[in-house]
Amino acid sequence: MDALKSSSAQGLSEAEVQKRQQQFGPNELIEKGGKHPLRLLWEQVSSVMVLILIAAAVVSALLGQVTEAVAIGAIVVLFVILGFVQEYRAEKAMAALKKLAVPLVRVRRAGQLVELSAQELVPGDIILLEAGNAIPADARVVESANLRVQEAALTGESEAVEKQTAVIPKPDLPLGDRLNMLYLGTNVTYGRGTAVITATGMNTELGKIATLIQGVQDDPTPLQKQLDSVGRILALAGIAVAVLVLIIGVVAGESLEEMFLTAVSVAVAVVPEGLPAVVTITLALGAQRMLRRSALIRKLPAVETLGSVTVICSDKTGTLTINRMTVTVIDVAGHFLELAGTDEQAPAYLKLADTPDDLFTNRPPAIGLTLAAGA
């Protein structure tokens, strides 16, 4: 309370509220430059395989092969539409987070109990909560009468957590262990309580998640890399064959104009027009099958990778953190093998926790057998 310069009995004054609103801004999740639909559409059109098909359709039309041109165009449209729909749904992840915001909240300001929009909250505000209320921002519990909060949206824990007012000496505990804190996006299921706002908007834990979502860089999947590679190889092969046909024809005394049209027709014939459509339809069917098994796929190319997964390692809540589960300790026959240096920058290495002996020159047999089995 002292750090936030607030009082549980009086709350903040109107002058202080205005000052903090200017300092911290509105209590809302800000969508930072999501991909425009036109950009999503361009990303679908600009893939190597689609560009080759578009070129093939144009050449076919110029050569008078209208039926083939229309067929290739239809395949391109189908490929682009299916990919665009999946990407557009992925961009709606931020909107799903915004739905967790709450419209109204009871606040104590200048000694008076008022009902305000959650967007008007600032750090230091005193809020009153009861069963059924959604938490409007991150807050520290000041008073608790059997206050229990459902935090599944953040921690994955299915059971409601009973909150307390006692000071927790360890500052860096996981969210689920911070029993005196409340977080935006969670809900009160039982009891009542009073809390002081500690963070609003994008500074909340939910806001940090929103920031991470907006900053995700999408790497191409193995399937996308393979399709691009196939597209480049086919393009080069088509050009090479067309040039070879043109040269042979001209050397044999054929008309240059006639051989040019023949070479172009051969280059178009090399392109597998049905490949993108077959791949897209196959992935769409795979996505539907995985959905029936409760696996929701936002991006079609991910189906190929996820479809190969046989084991997912996660904690009991099913929560994944940095997309990589890391072994930290191996306990074999009373010997502890630690994996040290597991941060993002330094390379990891193995060491024996119960002896200073070098792992590779004097290791227990049980450790050696375990490492061999896992290799």
Q: Which residues form the catalytic set?
A: 315
Q: Is 304 exposed, middle or buried (0-12, 13-18, 19+ CB in 10 A)?
A: middle
What's the sign of the alpha-carbon dihedral 80, 86, 89, 91? Answer: negative
What's the sign of the alpha-carbon dihedral 303, 305, 306, 310? Answer: positive
Tell me how far apart the alpha carbons of residues 371 and 202 are, in angstroms, rounded to a whole number.
44
Tell me how far apart the alpha carbons of residues 139 and 182 are, in angstroms, rounded to a whole number.
5
Q: What are the tokens at 38?
A: 């036109």
Question: Which residues does 116 contact at the CB level (< 8 Å), separation at least 6?
Answer: 104, 105, 107
Buried b (16+ CB within 10 A) or exposed e, 233-272: ebbeebeeebeebbeebeeeeeeeeebebbbbbebbebbb
Judge whether 33 and 214 are in contact, CB under 8 Å: yes
What secondary structure letter does DSSP report for 118? G
Question: Which residues does 230 contact at the CB level (< 8 Å), separation at least 6?
Answer: 49, 275
Tell me how far apart the alpha carbons of residues 180 and 175 are, in angstroms, rounded to a whole number.
10
